Amino acid sequence: MSGFPNPLPRPPEELERLRAVWRAPSGWRLISAVNNSYIGLFYLGAAMLFFVLAGILALLIRVQLAVPENDVLPQATYNQVFTMHGTMMMFLFAVPAVEAMGVYLLPNMQAARDLPFPRLSAYAFWAYAVGGLVFFCSLFFGLAPDGGWFMYPPLTSYEFSPGHNADFWLLGIGFIEISAIAGAIEILVGVLRTRAPGMTLDKLPVYSWAMLVFAVMIVFGFPAVILGTALLEIERGFHWPFFIAEKGGDPLLWQHLFWFFGHPDVYIIFLPAAGFVSAILPTMCGTPLVARRWVVLALVATGFIAFGVWVHHMFATGLPKLSLSFFSAASMAVAVPSGIQVFAWIATIAKGKLRLTVPSLFVLGFLAIFTLGGLTGVMVAVVPFDWQTHDTFFVVAHFHYVMIGGMVFPLFAAFYYWAPTASRRALSERLGRWCFGLMFVGFNVAFFPQHIAGLMGMPRRVWTYPAELGWGWINMTSTIGAFVLGLGALVFLIDLARNFRPFTGANAGNVWNAGTLEWLPGGTSVTRSIPIVTSLEPLWDQPTLARDVEDGRYYLPGTATGRRENAESCSVFGAEGHPASSKAAHRRSTS
Amino acid sequence: MSPRICTRCAKAALVALVGGCSGPQSALDPGGAAAEQIATLGWTMFAVATAILVAVLALAAHAALAPADRPAWALREGWVLGAGLAFPIVLLSALLVWSLSITGQGADAPPAPFRIQVVGERWWWRVTYLGPDGRPLFSTANELRLPVGRSVDVELTTADVIHSFWVPGLAGKLDMLPGRVNTLSLAAGRAGTYRGQCAEYCGGAHALMAFMVVAETDDSFDRWMAAQAAPVAEPTSDETRRGRDLFLASGCPACHAARGTPAVGAIGPDLTHVGGRLTIGAGLLPTHRGTLAAWIVDPGHLKPEVRMPAFPIYRGEDLRALAAWLESLE
Ligand SMILES: [Cu+2]
Same domain, B207 and B164: yes
Q: B208 touching A, CB under 8 A?
A: yes
B29: distance to nearest CA of chain A, Å?
8
Share of residues in chain A with pLDDT > 90 (%): 67
Average pLDDT over residues B297-323: 95
pLDDT value of position A561: 78
Lowest-pLDDT range of A257-266, A352-361, A467-476, A575-584: A575-584
pLDDT value of position A289: 94
User: Which of B92, B182, B197 lies at the smallest CB-CB distance from A457?
Assistant: B197
Question: How far is B178 from B322, CA to CA, in rounded Å?
Answer: 36
pLDDT value of position B16: 57
Per-residue confidence band for A486, with pLDDT thresholds at 50, 70 and 90 = very high
Question: How far is A385 from B59, CA to CA, in rounded Å?
Answer: 29
- Residues A97-150: pLDDT tens digits? 999 999 999 988 998 888 888 889 899 999 999 889 988 988 888 889 999 999
For residue A312, report the distance from its CA to the centre of ligand 1, in Å: 20
Q: A470 touching B, CB under 8 A?
A: yes
A350 interaction partners in chain B (CB closer than 8 Å):
62-63, 66, 70-71, 73-74
Q: Cβ–Cβ of B60/A147 closer than 8 Å?
A: no
Say if residue A223's pLDDT is above 70.
yes
Q: Cβ–Cβ of A152/B162 closer than 8 Å?
A: yes
Same domain, A471 and A531: no
Can you tell me whether residue B19 is helix, strand or coil? helix
Q: Which domain holds residue B128?
A: 115-216
B146 forms beta bridges with B215
User: Which of A341, A342, A455 lies at the smallest CB-CB distance from B26?
Assistant: A455
Same domain, A539 and A427: no
Q: HSE, CB side, 13 Å, CA atoms: give it for residue A465.
A: 29
Asked which of B152, B184, B216 is the last residue of a domain, the reply is B216
CATH number at residue B200: 2.60.40.420
Q: For residue B233, is it within any domain?
A: no
Average pLDDT over residues B171-180: 95
Q: For residue B166, is it within any domain?
A: yes
**CB contact burial B192-226 (16+ within 10 A = b; e otherwise):** bebbbbbbbbbbbbbbbbbbbbbbbeeeebeebee
Say if residue B15's pLDDT is above 60.
no
pLDDT value of position A171: 87
Same domain, A4 and A96: no
Q: Cβ–Cβ of B99/A368 closer than 8 Å?
A: no
pLDDT value of position A27: 76
Same domain, B96 and B121: no
Say if residue A587's pLDDT is above 60.
no
pLDDT value of position A528: 79
Q: HSE, CB side, 13 Å, CA atoms: give it for residue A85.
A: 17
Q: Give the C-alpha distances (Å, rounded to integers) separating A114 from A15, A194, A331.
A: 18, 8, 38
pLDDT value of position A571: 62
pLDDT value of position A523: 57
Looking at per-residue pLDDT, the higher value among B80 and A87 belongs to: A87
pLDDT value of position A570: 66
Q: Cβ–Cβ of A390/B197 closer than 8 Å?
A: no
Same domain, B195 and B258: no
**Number of Cβ within a 10 Å radius of residue A207:** 28
For residue B265, report the distance from its CA to the centre of ligand 1, in Å: 22
Same domain, B56 and B95: yes
Same domain, A206 and A291: yes
Name the B residues in 129-158 with CB < 8 Å from any A CB: none
Mutation target among B87, B153, B154, B200 for the A interface, most CBs of A within 10 A:
B200
Q: Cβ–Cβ of A384/B41 closer than 8 Å?
A: yes
Say if residue A524's pLDDT is above 90.
no
Same domain, A472 and A542: no
Average pLDDT over residues B64-73: 71
Question: How far is B165 from B175, CA to CA, in rounded Å?
Answer: 6
B174 interaction partners in chain A (CB closer than 8 Å):
316, 318, 387
Average pLDDT over residues A44-61: 97
Average pLDDT over residues B236-260: 94
Q: For residue B16, is it within any domain?
A: no
**Domain total for chain B?**
3
pLDDT value of position A574: 54
Q: Cβ–Cβ of B41/A382 closer than 8 Å?
A: yes
Asked which of B50, B75, B103 is the last residue of a domain, the reply is B103
- Residues A224-245: pLDDT tens digits? 999 999 999 999 999 999 999 9
Q: Check if the beta carbon of residue A455 is closer than 8 Å to that of residue B27.
A: yes
- Residues A164-192: pLDDT tens digits? 889 988 988 888 888 999 999 999 999 99
Say if residue A591's pLDDT is above 60.
no
Question: How far is A454 from A456, CA to CA, in rounded Å?
Answer: 5
A389 interaction partners in chain B (CB closer than 8 Å):
27
pTM across the whole model: 0.94
pLDDT value of position B173: 96
pLDDT value of position A578: 42
Lowest-pLDDT range of A112-126, A325-339, B105-119, B149-163: B105-119
Per-residue confidence band for A585, with pLDDT thresholds at 50, 70 and 90 = very low
- Residues B24-58: pLDDT tens digits? 899 999 998 899 999 999 999 999 999 999 999 99
Name the A residues in 58-77 with CB < 8 Å from any B CB: 74-76
Q: Cβ–Cβ of B77/A462 closer than 8 Å?
A: no
Q: Check if the beta carbon of residue A412 is closer than 8 Å to that of residue A48.
A: no
pLDDT value of position A577: 40
- Residues A185-201: pLDDT tens digits? 999 999 998 888 888 88
Amino acid at position B255, single letter:
C
For residue B122, report the distance from its CA to the centre of ligand 1, in Å: 6
Taking each helix axis from N to C end, the angle separating A472-499 and A429-455, rounded to the nearest 10 degrees, works out to 160
CATH number at residue A479: 1.20.210.10
Q: For residue B277, is it within any domain?
A: yes
Q: Cβ–Cβ of A372/B104 closer than 8 Å?
A: no
Q: A354 touching B, CB under 8 A?
A: yes
Per-residue confidence band for B14, with pLDDT thresholds at 50, 70 and 90 = low
Pairs of CB atoms within 8 A across A/B: 245
> Mean pLDDT over all residues of chain A?
90
Per-residue confidence band for B330, with pLDDT thresholds at 50, 70 and 90 = confident
Same domain, B210 and B264: no
For residue A277, report the distance from its CA to the centre of ligand 1, in Å: 41
Per-residue confidence band for A520, with pLDDT thresholds at 50, 70 and 90 = confident
Same domain, B129 and B71: no
Looking at per-residue pLDDT, the higher value among A216 and B17 belongs to: A216
Same domain, B90 and B175: no
pLDDT value of position B201: 97
Same domain, A15 and A44: no
Asked which of B75, B103, B131 is the last residue of a domain, the reply is B103
Phi-psi region at B135: left, alpha or beta (left = phi > 0; alpha = psi -120 to 50): beta
Q: For residue B305, is it within any domain?
A: yes
Q: For residue A514, is it within any domain?
A: no
From A506, A291, A266, select the one nearest A400 (Cα to Cα): A266
Same domain, A29 and A13: no
Q: Which domain holds residue A567?
A: 1-22+525-591
Residue of B nearest to A152 (CA): B162
Say if residue A584's pLDDT is above 90.
no
Q: For residue A517, is it within any domain?
A: no
- How large is the ipTM? 0.93
Same domain, A3 and A84: no
Q: For residue B230, is it within any domain?
A: no
Per-residue confidence band for A583, with pLDDT thresholds at 50, 70 and 90 = very low
Q: A288 touching B, CB under 8 A?
A: no
From A245, A151, A152, A156, select the one nearest B181 (Cα to Cα): A245
Same domain, A84 and A147: yes
Same domain, B128 and B211: yes
Same domain, B120 and B208: yes
Looking at per-residue pLDDT, the higher value among A584 and A437 belongs to: A437
Q: A24 touching B, CB under 8 A?
A: no
pLDDT value of position A581: 39
pLDDT value of position A175: 85
Per-residue confidence band for A586, with pLDDT thresholds at 50, 70 and 90 = very low
Q: Cβ–Cβ of A350/B71 closer than 8 Å?
A: yes
Looking at per-residue pLDDT, the higher value among B240 and A553 belongs to: B240
Same domain, A11 and A29: no
Share of residues in chain A with pLDDT > 70 (%): 95
Q: For residue A37, is it within any domain?
A: yes
Same domain, A389 and A444: yes
pLDDT value of position A20: 80
Question: How far is A16 from A36, CA to CA, in rounded Å?
Answer: 21
- Residues B279-289: pLDDT tens digits? 999 999 999 99
Average pLDDT over residues A339-345: 94
Per-residue confidence band for B4, with pLDDT thresholds at 50, 70 and 90 = low
Instruction: Give, for B3, the enclosing helix (H) or strand (E).
Output: helix B3-20
Say if residue B311's pLDDT is above 90.
yes
pLDDT value of position A402: 96
For residue A343, report the distance from its CA to the centre of ligand 1, in Å: 43
Average pLDDT over residues A297-323: 93
Cα B222-B227-B228 angle, rounded to 5 deg: 100
User: Which of B172, B178, B198 lies at the smallest CB-CB distance from A388?
Assistant: B172
Average pLDDT over residues A400-422: 96
Same domain, A133 and A156: yes
**Domain total for chain A?**
2
